[in-house]
Amino acid sequence: MTAIPPPGGKKLGLVIDLDTCVGCHACAVNCKEWNTSGHSAPLPDFDAYQAKPQGVWFNRVHSYEAGEGNDSRTVYFPRSCLHCEEPACVTVCPTGASYKRAEDGIVLVNPDTCIGCKLCSWACPYGAREFDEDAGVMKKCTLCIDRIYNTNIPEEDRVPACVATCPAQARHFGDLGDPNSAVSRLVAEREGYDLMPELGYKPVNKYLPPRERPRYAAPAEPAVESVANPFLRWIDRALSR
Amino acid sequence: MHPALSVILFTTASGAGYGMLFWLGLLAPLGLLPIAAGFGVTASLLGLALVTFGLMSSTLHLGHPERAWRAMTQWRTSWLSREGVAALIAYMPAVLFPLLWLWQEAAGPLGFISAATAAATVVCTGMIYASLKPIRQWHNPYVLPIYLLASLFSGGACLAGVATFWNAEPWLADASVVLAVVALAAKVAYWRSIDSGVGARTPADATGLGKLGTVRSLDPPNTEENYLLREMGYRIARKHAGRLRVVAMLLGFVAPIVLLPFVPPVAAIAALLGLLVERWLFFAEATHTITLYYGRAT
């Protein structure tokens, strides 16, 4: 079971646009909302109404400041399971509870056979797995398998909850195994990249980098020669010595 | 990485236990240990007790200990599963071995099988850690040799400790001294290796945003600690780590080296206590790539 299935054609995943993400956390909230009654329900919260609330989330939005001074920029960075092609979280599982589906590449946990050893969460470089201390089993993003294949909801809603709710359309869902899919074309066009590719996990999800923008140019100071008043020109020369 | 007491007790106790079973199985058939049945049974039982205590302790950190049997199934890919299978197999010759103590000639092959399975189990334990790429302090070439050396040295010290009461030749204690010196050298080399920052990463590496310049965490996603930070974001102050390294070296290696030729039982206890500190540090000093996303460096 924990052996990774031979690579299939289909690789469902997300493309996250770091240029357009506004950091509103709606994806994280809608993920929590849907999944707390979805496939891996519930997503427990502890001390939810106390000073230090904690809980299991499948999606968390970081924010960073990158660059220096006037050229620095704020980048919002949603982080969730990347449904890797070489998921060590699956191969380290001693029970076969963690598995990667051959048909679409989605990585899931079987809560009935998970022994809660937490080794998979150690093996994931991206922090995609969070332990449910209430149920004693590991939980993770399911890519909303209970939405994307759900024939009881309108076809336009059959996308992961995070994608459906994103007000900036910074999240895209599709088949990254098909080079002609909309998401694959988007990745090619925007030079989408993998997180920490050197680790060899081959993430399916891609991140689109913030678009380049012109460097900050400070407004030019008026040249002294353009000052008409000779007295002021003399003051300037005197002070510049 | 969070230093969970159950896992630290497990790797230290079972490491010493398998070390004892290794030396017993290897040396007894060669006639290099006291032949008294009392020694064979006592040493075997102590080794098995350490191993069993360790394995029981390791199940304490499971969310579902009653499902632990399922961990025997995925030995094709999982070092944890391999460890479980190896531990189970190692029990068989180790339990039979002392029963055959009185018939030394029959015990030979069984002893070698016991030694091999004990060593294999320790290799699996070491590989669980050494195979984890997100943790640079574990995905390090010194990790597996140190697990093996610590097991052989502490097991040798424990066996020498037991053998004292049967007036054994001192050479097992002497051999353990040599192993302790080699293990200490490997440990010092390991600390130098992780301190050199080999494989260290920054938030820029983790986010792929390095092209924009230095990447600093502005706001974490969660205001309170979460599972990820509690389990994998453990931090130890550098000065504490430095002092504990000295404690681990003095108690776990230097004291046994000095004491083994004179009072092997005391040396064995010092080795076990020191190795507990060493194992605690192995976790506490390990940094996971997830913490990069929270703005730390590994």
* Interval A52-64 mean pLDDT: 96
What pTM was estimated for this model as a whole?
Answer: 0.92
pLDDT grade, residue A81 (50/70/90)? very high
Residues of A in contact with B85 (CB under 8 A): none
Domains and CATH numbers, chain B: 5-293 (1.20.1630.10)
Please report where in the chains the tokens 């590719």 appear, as a residue. Answer: A197
Contact call for residues A75 and B295 (beta carbons, < 8 A): no
Hey, which of A148-152, A217-221, B220-224 has the most confident mean pLDDT?
A148-152
CA triple B93-B46-B119, angle to 5 deg? 45
Mean pLDDT throughout A119-128?
A: 98
* Residue-range domains of chain A with CATH: 12-208 (3.30.70.20)
Cα R_g (chain B), whole angstroms? 21
pLDDT at B234: 93
Residue B290 in contact with partner chain A when CB distance is under 8 A: yes
**Pair of tokens at residue A111:** 């809560």
Task: Give the pLDDT mean for A220-233.
Answer: 78
Is the CB of B64 less than 8 angstroms away from the CB of A136? yes
Average pLDDT for chain A: 94
- Work out whether strand A12-17 and strand A206-208 pair parallel, antiparallel, or are unpaired: parallel
Tabulate helix, strand, coil % of chain B (nearest 5): 70, 0, 25
Q: Is the dihedral of CA A101, A107, A111, A114 positive or negative?
A: positive
Predicted pLDDT at A217: 83
Q: Which residues of chain B have pLDDT under 50?
A: none
Q: A88-97, A125-134, A230-239, B66-75: which has the minimum mean pLDDT?
A: A230-239
* The pLDDT of residue A232: 87
Question: How many beta carbons lie within 10 A of that of residue B61, not counting itself?
Answer: 16
Contact A173, B108 (CB under 8 A): no
Q: Amino acid identity of B118? A: A
Q: What is the pLDDT of residue A137?
A: 97
Q: How many CB atoms lie within 10 A of CB A153?
A: 12
3-state secondary structure of B135: strand
pLDDT band at A234 (very low <50, low <70, confident <90, very high): confident
| Structure tokens, B127 | 């590989």
Reported as half-sphere exposure (CB side, CA atoms, 13 A), residue A94 has a value of 23
Can you give the pLDDT at residue B98?
A: 77
ipTM over 0.85: yes
Would you call B297 an interface residue with chain A, using a CB distance cutoff of 8 Å?
no
Does the beta carbon of B200 lie under 8 angstroms from any beta carbon of chain A? no
**What does the pLDDT read at residue B45?**
93
Contact residues, B window 153-192, toward A, CB-based 8 Å cutoff: none
Contacts of A135 in chain B (CB under 8 A): 63
Q: CA-to-CA distance for B2 and B235, rounded, in angstroms?
A: 8
Answer yes or no: do A68 and B213 touch at CB < 8 A.
yes
Is residue A187's pLDDT more than 70?
yes
Nearest to A46 by CA among B233, B228, B224: B224
Residue with tokens 């290799």: B123
Residue type, B268: A
Confidence of residue A219 (pLDDT cuts 50, 70, 90): confident
Which of B127, B207, B223, B229 best probes binding to A when mutated, by most A CB atoms within 10 angstroms? B207
At residue A175, what are phi and psi to the nearest 5 degrees?
A: -95, 105
Q: How far apart are CA B177 and CA B12, in angstroms?
A: 18
Compute the residue count for chain B. 298
Side-chain-side CA neighbours of residue B124 (13 Å): 26
**3-state secondary structure at position A208:** strand
Cis-peptide into A203, omega within 30 deg: no
Nearest to A116 among B62, B132, B226 (CB): B62
Extract the tokens encoding B268.
């064995």
Chain A residue with minimum CA distance to B134: A125
A117 touches chain B (CB under 8 A): yes
Identify which of A90, A123, A207 has the shortest CB distance to residue B134: A123
